Structure 1
Amino acid sequence: MTNSGNGYVTYTTNNNIGTIEFYHPKGNSLPGNILRQLADAITKAGLDDKSNVLVIKSGGEGAFCAGASFDEMKKISTEQEGKDFFMGFANVINAMRTCPKIIICRVHGKTVGGGIGIVAASDFSIAHTKASVRLSEISLGIGPFVVGPAVGRKLGKAAFSTLAFDAKNWYDSEWALHNGLYNKVVDTVEDLNSAVDEISSDLASANPDALTQMKDIMWQSTGHWGPTLEQRAEISGRLVLSDFTKNYIKSFEEK
């Protein structure tokens, strides 16, 4: 468990279910330290004999994830710093992809940018009906380059392009369900918890070897993602230095 005033990432196990929870006071945004802790927790949980299945969730009652941290993006001053920041997202997605255990994502609220990458990189996602989604990167002058492979794999190119180019608008949970980002949508937090508990318990009691083989089959043809996501992080790291992006962040904060 790592916990601080700047957010936390925790990992707990119970009845062969591992639960990873992340939290940041600014809408569950994802600064570099949270991304590093999250990737590390996923990797370690994948090796933990006490869990057969993993659940990823976020804390609080607001957004599931507000995406990249504006506080950190505005401090980036070199292309290397930019690449390092966006590699945080790449490392989380790759940790989820290579984790030998099935990952269930519990989505209780709105999700933006990198948060959609986390949902898309999970193996099964259950969302609250209010969990609308938006890929806002184009508005920032960047583009959803790092999350693109995960989102495109889950939704297909047509739905991915809808989110990527219509960057100022929210798409509701029914749209996300229809296009494959969510596997199930429920109406209340109680129903969300019950649905997550039910499927995680069912999978935790299944044959672990069968689940690992299923995971391997589902993620075939993604072995190139390591260098691909690094290249995408370089693109984002360069674009985040543009006057367009810096002016957008400044105007957003002044609202």
Structure 2
Amino acid sequence: MRDVRAARREFGLGALGVLLAFGVCEAVSRAGIVRRSYLPPASEVLARAAELAGDAAFLDGIGATLRAWALGLGLACVIAVPLGLLLGSVPLVDSAVRAIVEVLRPLPSVALIPLVSLLLGSGTGTEVALIAYACVWPILFNTVYGLGETDPLAKETLRAFGFGRLAVLLRVELPGTAPFIAAGIRISAAVALILAVATELLAGFGEGLGIFIAQAGLATDGTRDVLAGVVWAGTLGLVVNGVLVWGERRLFPWTPEHRGADGGGGGR
């Protein structure tokens, strides 16, 4: 119950912070401290964001952004999890590719937009490729780290009973690494959403939430629409993170950060 109370307190403080930020923005705009063309009242921005929920064209754009987000994140998982298991299980392979990984990892995905656009064109393929590239790294390194944290006694016990390398991987290492992989996916999900919107913003054409924000920024008195689009982007990120955290709690309730989060287990 202590964890439940802590979660409720954290949620309450977060909600209070949002309300305070809302009040400050509203007061600053209404008082004329900042021109409304630069900072519209928060109530008008929220009203516009709610109005966009009934705009079919805008919702189609949201759908396009979420499709690119899902495809890019899924591709990153397909690449990063097997590669992480390989690097974490075979030290020789890890040593052979470590230098390449360390060279590629710091490269920002946004800087690769011109190159990827030349290779794949300026469509969904470019967006998905950039998202996948950015999302591979958190999943990959979490997978490798999770393998390193696997209980060595459990592995040695299986080997003592004659189980082979593949059986040890499937029965011990992969289940033990799964919470770390899930955490990497949750981190990458936020990165994927950022890249989806940013790539659309920089492209400036097509469809998607980033396109809406970019076009609103070019319009006269478009600040309200820009901020409404930002509200939608933040809301999508909040929902995605909440769903993934909920999934982690259901799938891995034994992990320290989730133990007792759902009720009486912590109070017994």
TM-score (norm 2): 0.26
Higher RCO (Cα < 8 Å, 6 or more apart): 2
> Where is the helix percentage greater, Structure 1 or Structure 2?
2
> Where is the strand percentage greater, Structure 1 or Structure 2?
1
TM-score (norm 1): 0.27
